Amino acid sequence: MFIVVLFGLVFQNLTDMFVNVKYDLYGFFQKGVDWLSLLPMLGLFPSAILIFFNFYPWNNGKRSVLYVGMATAFLVGFEYLSLLAGYFYYHKWKLWWSVIEYPILLYINIGFFKVYKIMTKPADGGRS
């Protein structure tokens, strides 16, 4: 599971690097790169990925779509509360864009996890 969390962490930070730093659409605490931004990047995001994958219904298509929808609603709600608290700010970003972005990011992480499972599966089917 460590490699999946690491992928999510790197993917999230790459996304934030472009959306936050390059295009200045949103950011954490204050504009630009700051040390305080490392707290959510290294603490909150990996924890959210672990919780998401821990409860993900892998063998149920309808429930997995519902689960991604519920996770998106939670993440958008958390983002909104973060805006109100001043921990997060928007410059040009709109909250409804997050409703579109979160499912895409979650499905990319799910896809990576599935590819990882296929690539680490023993070639002999585990009979060694």
Tell whether pTM > 0.85. no
Q: What is the pLDDT of residues 16-30, one digit of tens each?
A: 778 877 777 887 777
Listed by start position, the domains of the chain span 2-119
Q: Angle between the 2-16 and 45-55 helix axes, to the nearest 10 degrees?
A: 130
Tokens of 89: 């700010």
3-state secondary structure 68-105: HHHHHHHHHHHHHHHHHHCCEEECCCCHHHHHHHHHHH
By the 8 A CB rule, do 9 and 46 touch? yes
Q: What is the pLDDT of residues 75-126, one digit of tens each?
A: 999 989 988 988 888 888 899 999 999 999 899 999 999 998 888 888 766 5
